[in-house]
Structure 1
Amino acid sequence: MYALSLVPTSLLSLLLAWFMPLAHANYFVVQQPSQGTQWTNGQANPVQWTKGVGDGVVMTDIEMSRISVDGLIFVAQNVPTSPGSINIFIQDLPEADDYYLLFLNSTVGVMYGTSPRFSVSGSSNASSPIANAPTVSVSGAPNPTDVFATTFPALANGVAVPGWKAVEGAMPQLLALFGTMAVCLLSGAWIVL
């Protein structure tokens, strides 16, 4: 506690106002593939997830990786997180039982969630694809120099524009902005006096 008393309160207020919008918990759970799911080469395999409401995550990148082999398979970029489903058609993937999916923002390196471990085989006992969900095709072994198999059109980034209208998410930004300005003005007046 003594160390914090050495920091000027104006600096602490500015830091708290700056980082307050970041202090919320994200919720991103992958339901499919589940533990023990077996994907089949030559078929579309379903992927489903649930995410938090109002978390600002409107799109995600999906990558596939293996535990025992270095490298990634870049599945899809800018996948809309709502409605929370996609089909992945796999072809010529090495058969193994140590695959998992990564859901992230690859631009800034933020991880939203991972799937449980699942397997890829040549037998045909896979789940049926999700109707009305987009399908992405991937093939071959993990290769970190490949590009994403599919890139969806970019969506709005979910950042609310500051303004007087009660736009979703704008009020906390306005409060942080005006709070920061007030602290700066009071700090300047304190120094002058």
Structure 2
Amino acid sequence: MASNKKVTTARELLTAIHQIQPASKPLPGYEDKVVSRFPLGVCMDECYSNLYIGDIGAAKDKAYLQKVGITHVLNTAQGNKFATVDTDEEYYKDAGIKYLGMRLLDVPTANISQFFTAGANFIEDALSSGGKVLVHCFMGISRSATIACAFLMLKRDMCALEALTTLRKNRAIFPNEGFLRQLSELDNDLRSQRE
């Protein structure tokens, strides 16, 4: 007998991403001015209440993070290789920012799902304490977006499609195909647990 259970696929998530045009918004902290992100070298967007996704420029600019009120930084690209960000807990110590690092490359074969729970817990701790969290990778498109999506799924009971839509409406995120597959697997697991 065939099952009528809905199964989320990576292709479905990819199609949804392509159909959503992100909003054009001012850079956080500069809402009252017309400021281009490029001369500042910072690219960051609030994608959910007090949850920001950004790039290496935002992550390394401690003065900017303090201006915006960031209290927690989650680096999903920790390291000193190409397309990684070489920050750690010590880097943010003088700014009073709490830190969590994950060593991940932005390749479809990377096991990002091993970090879903730790990332979701870190973000939840930040938000529940009244903080603001920056989740970043090198460009703020794939690794960071995937961890932020997992947070919305695990802690805000969103399905993968709803979580990706929430983020994509606020930033031009684009998780790689392998990460979308892992999000679809998480979605299917969560759905079966909730039934």
Higher helix share: 2
Find the structure with the greater CA-based Rg: 1
Q: Give TM-score scaled by structure 2 length.
A: 0.21
Higher strand share: 1
Q: Give TM-score scaled by structure 1 length.
A: 0.21
